[in-house]
Structure 1
Amino acid sequence: MPALTTDRRAVTEAPIEEILSMRWSPRSFDPAAEVTDEQVSSMLEAARWAASASNVQPRRFVAGRRGTPTFERIERHLMGFNRVWAPNASLLVLAIAVTGPEDGGPAGAYRWAEYDTGQSMANLASQAHALGLHAHPMGGIEVDDLRREFDLPSHHVPITVTAVGTVASADLLPERYRERETAQRTRLPLSDLVLARD
């Protein structure tokens, strides 16, 4: 049986904060673990306080704990392999970018809605890790179906669903996915990412 893998510290080229180096996105979650109301509020509060262009805050969230109707309404619109592992998570959070003003006002700052939404979910993931949880964002979602499911207006665009929970042994996953769950984490080197630096 594979060992429970919770410490998958990033091998970095420069020192970074531990909460960042230790953050990773598991697929194997404990199907019996629960999150409290206080934990959910803490994560959503972290998302609320993410940076935002012109302080427009063009992001909205739908959060459902496992066993609730909201969780099921989100889960049914996951795609592919996400439908296999994500139902074991304790919480699903749908992140929605607001791409235009609610009142028909100036639309300029909404250009960065998806970026702002991404920042808020990065905050949520970091706060989850600080609470001893793990978060795994998914792009494999049925966008139009989620919009209909939650009766979202056209300028509210589902961006991701993030699964949050307590990491479990990789042996809970189908065999062909276990190696990926425990493989060494990698990133492109800084020299490939940084185009100019003085």
Structure 2
Amino acid sequence: MENREFDYEVVEEITTRWSPRAFDPEREVPQEDLMAMLEAARYAPSCFNEQPWRFILGRRGDETYDKIKEALKDTNREWASSASVLMMILSRQKFEKNQKDNRWHLFDAGTAWGYFSLEAERRGLITHAMGGFSVDKVREAFEVPEDVSIIAAVAVGYYGDKASLSPENLKKEKPSPRDDIDEIVVEGLSE
């Protein structure tokens, strides 16, 4: 894949997954595929098996989708509006059993998102997570309690025509490079 060189063999979906912006506005994600992606997320590991992640899912044309779309920053709404599914990733900040702060909840929710995205890739779908959205709009639209973090928005669908993108987004429509292993491990690698 352009901009990506793997030094070691890994799961194939890791080698092919990236975050495109060109979604097919005509194709819908089948319910079976969406449920399988959620099943993959459901089986992510979490601290004390808390499973703090929560998802808000909207399908193109329904009210939930429109609320999520409205919360996106204009630069993301421009291309994400073609996705079949828009989703919000949330996470409970406290342990359910004792209401103490769960400082691992974001880590756990991120792991669930990773499982979701790899299952999407396995099924021939694309995903693009976004931080460009209004937390306040999401909190208000879905009445999200204050002790629940609103982490990311995600577009899900099939790859579409790159020509549909603005010139600015078209320039970004490629896999981004990755740092070498020796750049991300600060200690413990031996030659």
TM-score by length of 1: 0.90
Post-superposition offset of 1:102: 4.8
Q: 1:41 & 1:138 partners in 2: Cα distance?
A: 21
The Cα of 1:11 is off from its aligned counterpart by: 1.4
Partner of 2:182: 191
> Which of 7, 10, 22 is matched with 1:16 structurally?
10
* Code of the aligned partner of 2:181: L
Which structure 2 residues correspond to residues 126-145 of structure 1 after superposition, within 5 A?
126-145=118-137
CA separation in 2, counterparts of 1:77 and 1:185? 26
Q: Which of 33, 37, 43 is equivalent to 1:39?
A: 33
Tell me the percent identity: 34
Structure 2 residue aligned with 1:4: none
Partner of 2:68: 74
Give yes or no for the alignment of 1:50 onto 2:44. Answer: yes
Distance 1:32 1:15, change over 3 A: same
Contact 2:25 2:84 in 1 (8 A): yes
CA RMSD of aligned residues (A): 1.6
Aligned match of 2:100 in 83, 97, 107?
107
Q: What stretches of structure 1 of length at least 5 have no aligned partner?
A: 1-6
Cα deviations by residue, 1:80-131 (Å, 9 ceiling, x for unpaired): 310100000011111001101457x2415x1111111111111110011111
User: Which of these residues, 138, 149, 168, is aligned with residue 141 of structure 2?
Assistant: 149
CA distance in 2, matches of 1:128, 1:9: 21
Q: Write the distance in 2 (CA, Å) between the matches of 1:177 and 1:140.
A: 14
1:61 matched to 2:60: no
Determine the C-alpha separation between the residues in 2 that align with 1:154 and 1:97. 11
Counting matched residue pairs gives: 189
CA contact (8 A) 1:31 1:90 kept: yes
Query: Runs of 4+ in structure 1 displaced over 2 angstroms?
Result: 7-10
- Rounded Cα–Cα distance in structure 1 between residues aligned with 2:74 and 2:35: 29
Instruction: Provide closer, same or farther for how the CA distance between residues 40 and 9 of structure 1 changes in structure 2, counting only shifts above 3 A.
Output: farther
Unaligned ranges ≥5, structure 2: none
Q: CA deviation at 1:177?
A: 2.1
Give TM-score, length-normalised by structure 2. Answer: 0.93
Alignment of 1:117-128 (within 5 A): 117-128=109-120
Matched, 1:91 2:85: yes
Contact in 1 for aligned 2:57/2:85 (Cα 8 Å): yes
